[in-house]
Chains A and B, each alone.
Chain A
Amino acid sequence: MSPAPRGHNVSLERRAWGIRRHALLMGEVQGQGYIAQALDIADVLAVAYFHAMRYRPDDPEWEGRDRFLLSNGHYAIALYAALIEAGIVPEEELESYGADESRLPMSGMASYTPGMEMSGGSLGLGLAIAVGRCLGLKHKGSDARVYTLFSDGELDEGSVWEAIMAAAHHRLDNLIAIVDVNNQQADGPSTAVLGFEPLPEKLAAFGWFVRRVDGNDLAAVRDAFDAAAAQAGSGRPAMIVADTLMGKGVPFLEAREKNHFIRVEPHEWRLALDALDERKPA
């Protein structure tokens, strides 16, 4: 099933569905992957790539593009799905996900994949890199923006808070960060592993513009991206706190006991695709 063509009147719902479907197909190839995270963040990526960001699918390094930095490299399966949907990565490469010599390794790395702007994997790197990107863009006089996605577990890392301080200090209103609060990290619920709430209040106290939304409510996510973009000129960086549901869009995965690395049995990939296909938007 090909990505819906860009520039046509394709709904964000249809884009998010497409991202979920590409991700499930990649998960099926390897029989594993951070599929629950990919499903939870698909709506955010749909808004980023089909509402908010400027880019040229045939020229991923176009100087005028908005940059998207994937800090949580294990979400690569989700970003590859978005890059496929956006026409930056050809859909047929989906079959190579996680295989030897593939441009789509399981953890996202800058040198492997068109449209992948940084090497993640070691958590807590993205926001620091984003600060440098934003400083550089301002130095060049560019009005391009830097979007960076990171996970709630990364809030445990001190480097994230170094960058949160620096972005406000340097008045980086060209930075839009999205934190995926799915409340799940390797050892359990993120809020139980190392509490970070009340997150919006903390970020606001650090000088950020903050919008907390249901990260699986496309209209709300779109509005949050718009509000964040409107911060240009304010001197304030923007953070979208996206509360998401792991496994979103596939009911039996949504209902599965939450785990950082959701187990999907071999026969369940087809079931998941069927469940998704039943919910294909117009």
Chain B
Amino acid sequence: MTGAGDRGQHDRPRLTTSAMIASIAAEGQRTMAAPFGHALVALAQEDPSILGMTADLGKYTDLHVFAQAFPERHYQMGMAEQLLFGAASGLAAEGFTPFATTYAVFASRRAYDFIHQTIAEEERNVKIACALPGLTSGYGPSHQATEDLALFRAMPNMVVIDPCDAHEIAQAVPAMAQHRGPVYMRLLRGQVPLVLDEYGYSFELGKAKLLRDGADVLFVSSGIMTMRALEAATALAADRVDCGVLHVATIKPLDEAAILAACARPGRLVVVAENHSVHGGLGEAVAGLLMRAGVHPAFRMVGLPDAFLAAGALPTLHDRYGISTNALCARVKTWLG
């Protein structure tokens, strides 16, 4: 699955190749190492029901941190994602709270029926944490999970989380365990940007939070696009465009009240920004909500095109597909005229 040549390339200052594993942190950005793994260890020290499982991707989902701390509570299931999630269902049925990790593409595409039937339909208390969400790998469509939110949003009983940074992941892990039932979390791993701590942010399952207010534009964003929206808001302020950012970390259930309240404020351009296909993700979820509620602001969506994306370096691809900070700023300026 992964070639030895992929490893270690994130040490380079600027990525220029289509490596599978790459940090999304910008040069010089504050980061935290393996927030998921460390948060899971902390949780497991308090809660003996917590187990870790993976399908040959412990190192690449930061579960190795947990495996080292609790080897007897870690299950290596091999490169077998159907088995991984079926077995997770079985462990949950025996009263455990397994955190099962793989890449988002494999959970959402290869193991979908297993998650649907053995976890969601049976309402098993399984937590699914998946790396390489959206366009966070330059490796090509095999590893670019551009439709995972759409797929898991459509699954009954499934809670879906798209965290922004290390600060949020660390808080989301205990919150996932506290929720009784299946949860899917998009996972950022390795050196993960640290952003939201500076906004006094705290993660609450099912809650959208306004990170900054602004009179001209409201970004409604999730995942790494919240980081980009915050950067865009700073950049656009220099052009006297006043931008607010509503961070929607829980894609399902959607915090409808907070989104409607923010979008109903007159005079603002609403820009939904997501690291996901424009089909079936946060953008369409928000659009549908606004339509149903009769709230009709000027509305634009930023997301990945309905296409198999190219291989390449992430900065190149984020510019090309419109989800880099620069691309976001440029589009907002165009829309504002």
Q: A133 to B89: give the CA distance in the assembly, Å.
A: 8
| CB of B103 within 8 Å of the partner chain | no
Q: Which residues of A contact B91 (CB under 8 A)?
A: 132-133, 135-136, 139
Q: A165 to B88: give the CA distance in the assembly, Å.
A: 16
Q: Which residues of B contact A129 (CB under 8 A)?
A: 86-87, 89-90, 93, 118
Q: Does A163 contact B83, Cβ atoms closer than 8 Å?
A: yes
Binds A, one of B74-82, B225-233, B252-260: B74-82
Looking across the interface, which residue of chain A has its beta carbon closest to that of B121? A119
A136-B96, A163-B83, A166-B80 in contact; A128/B122 too (CB < 8 A)? no
A132-B90, A158-B82 in contact; A139/B96 too (CB < 8 A)? yes
- Least distance between B257 CB and chain A CB atoms (Å): 30
Q: A159 to B82: give the CA distance in the assembly, Å.
A: 6
Q: What class of interface size applies to chain A in its complex with B?
A: 20 to 34
| CB of B156 within 8 Å of the partner chain | no
Dominant SS at the A interface? helix
Q: Which residues of A contact B82 (CB under 8 A)?
A: 124, 128, 158-159, 162
Q: Which residues of B contact A133 (CB under 8 A)?
A: 90-91, 93-94
Q: Which residues of A contact B96 (CB under 8 A)?
A: 136, 139
| CB of A110 within 8 Å of the partner chain | yes
Q: A261 to B109: give the CA distance in the assembly, Å.
A: 31
Q: Does B94 contact A140, Cβ atoms closer than 8 Å?
A: yes
Dominant SS at the B interface? helix
Q: A111 to B124: give the CA distance in the assembly, Å.
A: 11
Q: A45 to B82: give the CA distance in the assembly, Å.
A: 27
- Least distance between A57 CB and chain B CB atoms (Å): 20
| CB of A256 within 8 Å of the partner chain | no
Q: Does B78 contact A166, Cβ atoms closer than 8 Å?
A: yes
- Least distance between A183 CB and chain B CB atoms (Å): 25
Residues of A bordering B, CB below 8 Å: 109-111, 117-119, 121-122, 124-125, 127-137, 139-140, 158-159, 162-163, 165-166, 169-170
Residues of B bordering A, CB below 8 Å: 51, 73, 75, 77-78, 80, 82-83, 85-96, 98, 113-114, 117-118, 121-123
State the 3 A-B residue pairs at the shortest beta-carbon distance, nearest first: A132-B90, A128-B86, A136-B94
Q: 6 A-B Cβ contacts within 8 A?
A: A110-B121, A121-B117, A124-B82, A136-B94, A136-B95, A163-B86
